[in-house]
Structure 1
């Protein structure tokens, strides 16, 4: 035992972090307990943090550093007793017991309990240990005499890292601080090593800190690794073969028993009892994996794969079977995973696994071929998607021949052998995969799709009513008619052959087919500006969807309902409905919808001129160019383009939209092509390129006129109105565009622009609105719900005077009624929200 060790005097407080957070934590613990127990692994800064605390308080401190030989020191208790017994002046003191993890002897531990009980009046105790609270301290726990400070408390947070490095002359960007947190988890010792490397320029640049850093490896080797016995070292190398590990899985793979305490010391515990190696420790162990024989690694990988497969985690199982080069089991698990609805965040992983399979095995597997075709469609690799689709057709042809060859025996009777049933089942699954890909292939038009639907209807008994379960019309978009494909040409005149269409969709989609069709009709009504019809259909459908809990359909229904309310000026009420929708998404654990939900919210913020909030959303996608465009993010891309326009980044918006235009042109998506053209025309017009702006707007008008769609233009408000108005005045209007159609759009764009005057405008474009004191008073009373007669009586003025002021208010605010006037007045802060 070392009393008040000299090493504490060598700590230079000028260069250590101000541990205000730890001081506050310890003070709080000591205020209600006699004992504070620091439990954290080596390098967590227990001693330094405690030393900092000691220097900041005005209480006397006795510091004892434990040694391993103290376990055999029968005089340890007497020595401590004599020291503490000297202090009989009733003055409060703190006893620090450093390196307490070295004390393992049960008798010595019991002596510490006796010591604390004996000197509990004037002394508080702080233990610094790498091990958990000894079991014999249970009475202290039961009496609430002990509080714990753990590694999470001691690890640096982002602000502390910034302060620590700044204090030592190293300035870091936020991205670099984030990288340090992500890699070190705030581990003080490693942060100190990284600081030394930067100060002394021991690494070539910041990124090289994290790659095989010899100083970090040396620290781990000397202070941690050498203290483990060979069995523990081998155990750690084995678990480093796993990205993450659960306690029971760990026991099964390694054959070890009680592991919780040890795992918590060397790994980070995440939710659901999943342990993950600290990235720094992980890098160290990866360098030591060569110490395992290849056969041992393969055996571990197979055990991990078996464990995941038993847990029905098929993608994870496929990964580890793949590492073991066990292709048979890898493919079986990939098939199981791909037969379910694939989360988009896992699509790239699936693609990577499939592409690394031997091609001669892959080309005969219909499930994996269909999956690759689907992934290629998502990533706009149409030519490759067609090849995978053709491969599917070849598989079907070969299976047909196979089934025919074994379908009849010598007596001419149908064969019911296992082989026949096996190949019949595979053939049926292959046909389902072909139908699934056919529906998503953009080079098949809507007429082809209807024809395919009719074929599917005939095959329905054969498929046991389940063949359509993986086909989604929405593709996570807040739209039915513009989901996986633009189906406007099928639905636009939905009253024609209404029953036939409704029955066909019902037959194909089963339980929710009728609701799906009704929702598509409501969306058509919205696009044609039949808002009341749309709302009537949606109200009944939303009630129905709540009962049936079809979250994909509920998502679309709520968004279209909210958009309909926005058209009428009720954006705040629309946001309430969005909040309800968000709760439904969370309740149904439909995380795949959240990305587009957040994009919808960003658009709502743009309508209100809340550009900062919209830009906060775009920060979630910081890349200037998309590394890999994908179909599922198309709604996000259009939102992004609108934010570029609102920020005044017109060239950037037009360039980005031109890429989106080409992608949608390749996929024959008429609606999105028109949407691109409208937004491009706005960006071009704002950047003074009128001729190109008019050409783009003309293209959109010609495309949308065939469907009589109005809202696609109207919902872009004043920005769209200005382009259209100037286009008409240019007298170069295409004769194919109907005069009534364009006048209707002009009217609706102007109305929408009046309700949302800040939409798609940079701050400098906001108009200055000046109302007189009398007009502001009248507007305030209108907001309170008063009629003209009530206002005249309240202000003691004539009714005609009220009408005169009201007319001026409408003119200045560019509105036509009271609701719009209040909406615009609130937008510009003339009156405040109640």
Structure 2
């Protein structure tokens, strides 16, 4: 949805109807609304003939509102309140996160609505967002959340404030809106799984982490949330209700069928046993019984809960409906959701609200999409049944006509994305393409590449080729989502069309602009730079973003060649063009390239400062374009790891890792996954490290991205070498091309491999295998090349390994000199892990250099002390005394602990085991070990006994 669509779609905020105890109709996710309420709503909406208010002016409903009005409760005999589950959700202290998980028809929505009713009775505000396929786009999701939360702000309503229509919502807009709501808030995200994607989940994770303490987040989903959300649950605690708990208990089933006095208890027990308490199946039974279709066990004896069972029950129910009502259901099942005005348009009668009320009175699986009841939908299982029936009963042309009619209504009411879908179903591909052409540029800017790819798959090439911007958008989407065959085919067709039509210079330039995205994604960097230079001659600064991309492309080639000043110059020329077009995607790549130029020259501290600012700016301004930030996050995580800021690096990886894998360039993917693997390896999580690298290999093989395969094999060899598994390391090294081992040659180098895969991995293995002479020959030549290319980061690593090679050959003086040369580079740039990761050999060398041996630069000496402290070794005085230092030093060490680390130290002092700590803190034992390792490093201690002694010494425990 574009920004204009979003502004049209927001309904006027108004109090939501009282939720009330949920009726039995809600056992499958439906909320009972009184016919009077719908009739009242109809008067305000008008009819389709009169451009109904809010349906025409605001086609999408306000997705949330405060619960302020009251209404009489449904008849108690027809209500099933899930007291047992509600007590869990209402636990004290109030859970920050609630996850209700179960397959379709298990009453997830019902339970969440009952929970919201209870919280509303306590004065809490309720915001509700129901996800659909479109909501998976982060821009649309954030807009829905902001609209929901802004509807809760009584101050904003008094001021007459309305959601901003100038631009889509940002994450910061949402968090600021939540802070303005003074009462506690329950924010529900229902139907979570329909929108799940790497793009959506990255935004969702950031939303969860940024929520104020006053907000409780509730998630309704068919599948459990991803590992990222699971990690977020650990921090704040959560309540998970799984499908087994959602099933009715026998007592609830008895209550559910109480109105049927003629039904014997054993028959109810049989129904419960056959359905396993599945709420949707129980409701279908109930409707059949209401219509006189008695329970017939022989028809489904022994089947248990299956799709056939629900199909059978739906058929039993449907076949007993009045013919007119059955036909109406088939017509109304075609759109995914319904409003009174849309019903009037479909039926041609001014009775939309009454028809919906009739369906709802019959209990036919109709549920509200939003709290206000502006939109409703059939339960998915029942809708699928109706669609199958409609396809069997309606001629194909009749179905296409119905889709055309629905598409016209959606288009007239500003719901262009929904209209496009129905034009496609109607076979009206030209009309779908015309409508898509009007919004596709906004979709690209919002990085809704998955939606663009979906549309492109359904449009014939002729329809796409009729609109240049559709072709460009489809190529970009195919390229960055790595559908390279489709991208190349479309590029070829478009090029042929341009040549036949005698296209001008600018048109050819825009064609090449889209080609740059494919070349970047394919890691064809030399070709990328050449085409970028060519395209720069065909466009000018009036082209804005496309012209800026030509600078990014050439800068990327310069990075590979080590031409850092030229890369920075090109990046700086791109920056104002990206700023002018407000294109966060281009800005993020420009920032990433700029940071790579700094890191090549050993300026890690400067790179971290720049990327931190860039990512903060992107997150502040991003309206769903969080994948723009993912490439910056990949390099920032790598630099933070290098600075030994492991928790911050891991947080970034958790937020952006999947997104990087999905649609970032090869070097960013490799950088992120290698950093993930190194953090896991360092923490002793070998399986997790291998999984990250195997994933990298998979992506490389699947998409023919050779550099990914090389980097993954090199990192596997590195970790095996550091673990002393030299035979295994050799097997991995054999997978590397000769140019990355013993036959180095000039070639492009990028961040992920510059200081490791490119000969460094092989040199380390040679040293560990006591083949120091070979290693020194290899390293000597590569050091000369690195110095000539001014690749200071690479030079530092090569000199460090050279020092280790000299030490292994008992050449102490040469080893010390080589190490000092590496330390001088490291001190200027802020490197830490490059030294520490080499383990005991490097540590022994650093201790040797620290010992009195002549004049050393003060900066290098201070830097060396910093490295030794980070490695868990004391300063020089500590080395002599064997003590943790004087009182002043120990005070500073204790002060370095975070409050959480101090609490953990208190628990350790109380004698709790790692398992006990994990259970108390609701984390894994690996996480406990990780935190203890950090504590021990900060305090310069080795074990729990020393930790307890320090805690007592400084009053943390008695």
Which ranges in structure 1 are unaligned for 5 or more consecutive residues?
Answer: 1-35, 47-94, 101-142, 145-151, 169-179, 402-423, 475-479, 583-592, 600-620, 758-766, 788-817
Q: Is the 8 A contact 1:677 1:696 kept in 2?
A: yes
**Aligned to 1:440, which of 518, 530, 535?**
518
Distance 2:776 2:471 in 1: 46
Distance 2:840 2:378 in 1: 52
Q: Is the 8 A contact 1:370 1:434 kept in 2?
A: no
Distance 1:201 1:737 in 2: 78
**Aligned to 1:784, which of 869, 872, 891?**
891
What does 1:651-670 align with in structure 2 at a 5 Å threshold? 656-662=695-701, 666-667=704-705, 670=707
Q: Which residue is 1:257 aligned to? A: 352
**Aligned to 1:524, which of 575, 597, 603?**
597
Say if 1:728 and 1:375 are closer, same or farther in 2 by CA, change over 3 A: farther
Distance 1:827 1:559 in 2: 34
Q: Does 1:690 align with 2:729?
A: yes
Matched residue SS, 1:339: helix
Q: Does 1:241 align with 2:343?
A: no
Aligned length, in residue pairs:
567
Q: Is the 8 A contact 1:378 1:632 kept in 2?
A: no
Matched residue SS, 2:599: helix
What does 1:260-271 align with in structure 2 at a 5 Å threshold? 261-262=357-358, 265=363, 266-271=365-370
What does 1:99-110 align with in structure 2 at a 5 Å threshold? none
Q: If you compute each CA radius of gyration, which structure gives the higher value, 1 or 2?
A: 1
Say if 1:554 and 1:430 are closer, same or farther in 2 by CA, change over 3 A: same
Q: Is the 8 A contact 2:532 2:551 kept in 1?
A: no
Matched residue SS, 1:388: helix
**Aligned to 1:329, which of 423, 428, 431?**
431
Say if 1:342 and 1:214 are closer, same or farther in 2 by CA, change over 3 A: same
Q: Does 1:503 align with 2:573?
A: yes
Distance 1:472 1:828 in 2: 55
Q: Which residue is 1:489 aligned to? A: 560
Distance 1:508 1:693 in 2: 42
Q: Is the 8 A contact 1:678 1:713 kept in 2?
A: no
Q: Which residue is 2:800 aligned to? A: 744
Say if 1:359 and 1:386 are closer, same or farther in 2 by CA, change over 3 A: closer
Q: Does 1:822 align with 2:938?
A: yes
Distance 1:529 1:644 in 2: 25
Aligned-CA RMSD value: 6.2
**Cα offset, 1:785, TM superposition:** 0.7
What does 1:230-379 align with in structure 2 at a 5 Å threshold? 230-254=323-347, 255=349, 256-259=351-354, 261-262=357-358, 265=363, 266-271=365-370, 273-289=374-390, 290-342=392-444, 350-351=452-453, 353-358=455-460, 361=463, 366-378=468-480
Matched residue SS, 2:714: helix
Q: Is the 8 A contact 1:327 1:357 kept in 2?
A: yes
Q: Which residue is 2:768 aligned to? A: 726
**Cα offset, 1:822, TM superposition:** 1.2
Distance 1:637 1:163 in 2: 44
Q: Is the 8 A contact 2:740 2:757 kept in 1?
A: no
1:310-351 CA-to-partner distances (Å, cap 9, x unmatched) read: 455444322211221222212223434543335999756654
**Cα offset, 1:237, TM superposition:** 0.9
Q: Which residue is 2:283 aligned to? A: 189
Say if 1:517 and 1:298 are closer, same or farther in 2 by CA, change over 3 A: closer
Matched residue SS, 2:353: coil
Say if 1:523 and 1:245 are closer, same or farther in 2 by CA, change over 3 A: farther
Distance 2:369 2:580 in 1: 41
**Aligned to 2:642, which of 542, 567, 574?**
567
Q: Which residue is 1:160 aligned to? A: 245
Q: Which residue is 1:216 aligned to? A: 313
Matched residue SS, 1:245: coil
Q: Which residue is 1:586 aligned to? A: none
Matched residue SS, 2:405: helix
Distance 2:357 2:945 in 1: 60
- TM-score under structure 2 normalisation? 0.46
Distance 1:241 1:695 in 2: 58
**Cα offset, 1:285, TM superposition:** 1.6
Return 253-262 or 455-464, whichever deviates more: 455-464
Distance 2:446 2:668 in 1: 8
Q: Is the 8 A contact 1:298 1:324 kept in 2?
A: yes
Higher relative contact order structure (alpha carbons within 8 Å, sequence separation ≥ 6): 2
Q: Which residue is 1:67 aligned to? A: none
Q: Is the 8 A contact 1:44 1:188 kept in 2?
A: no
Q: Is the 8 A contact 1:269 1:276 kept in 2?
A: yes
Distance 1:37 1:514 in 2: 51
What does 1:302-701 align with in structure 2 at a 5 Å threshold? 302-342=404-444, 350-351=452-453, 353-358=455-460, 361=463, 366-378=468-480, 380-400=482-502, 431-441=509-519, 445-460=524-539, 463-465=542-544, 467-468=546-547, 488-489=559-560, 492-496=562-566, 499=569, 502-503=572-573, 506=576, 510=580, 517=590, 519-538=592-611, 557=632, 560-561=635-636, 563-572=638-647, 595-596=658-659, 646-648=685-687, 656-662=695-701, 666-667=704-705, 670=707, 672=708, 674-682=710-718, 685=721, 688-695=727-734, 700=740
**Cα offset, 1:231, TM superposition:** 3.7
Say if 1:640 and 1:253 are closer, same or farther in 2 by CA, change over 3 A: farther
Distance 2:768 2:466 in 1: 59
Say if 1:40 and 1:521 are closer, same or farther in 2 by CA, change over 3 A: same
**Cα offset, 1:236, TM superposition:** 1.4
Say if 1:524 and 1:399 are closer, same or farther in 2 by CA, change over 3 A: same
Matched residue SS, 2:376: strand
Q: Is the 8 A contact 2:693 2:712 kept in 1?
A: no
Distance 2:457 2:326 in 1: 35
1:199-241 CA-to-partner distances (Å, cap 9, x unmatched) read: 98948977x921575532355237xx52xx4443222111211
Q: Is the 8 A contact 1:538 1:561 kept in 2?
A: yes
Distance 1:514 1:374 in 2: 17
**Cα offset, 1:261, TM superposition:** 4.0
Matched residue SS, 2:564: coil
Distance 2:251 2:551 in 1: 53
1:59-104 CA-to-partner distances (Å, cap 9, x unmatched) read: xxxxxxxxxxxxxxxxxxxxxxxxxxxxxxxxxxxx987479xxxx
Q: Which residue is 1:74 aligned to? A: none
Q: Is the 8 A contact 2:420 2:435 kept in 1?
A: yes
1:561-601 CA-to-partner distances (Å, cap 9, x unmatched) read: 5554443334456678x59x97xxxxxxxxxx68438x8xx
Q: Is the 8 A contact 1:654 1:684 kept in 2?
A: no
Matched residue SS, 2:713: helix
Q: Which residue is 1:30 aligned to? A: none
Matched residue SS, 1:302: helix
Which ranges in structure 2 are unaligned for 5 or more consecutive residues?
Answer: 1-19, 31-73, 80-120, 123-189, 191-220, 222-240, 254-274, 289-293, 784-794, 805-821, 823-831, 842-870, 895-933
Say if 1:188 and 1:493 are closer, same or farther in 2 by CA, change over 3 A: same
Say if 1:734 and 1:164 are closer, same or farther in 2 by CA, change over 3 A: farther
- TM-score under structure 1 normalisation? 0.52
**Cα offset, 1:530, TM superposition:** 2.1
Distance 1:331 1:779 in 2: 75
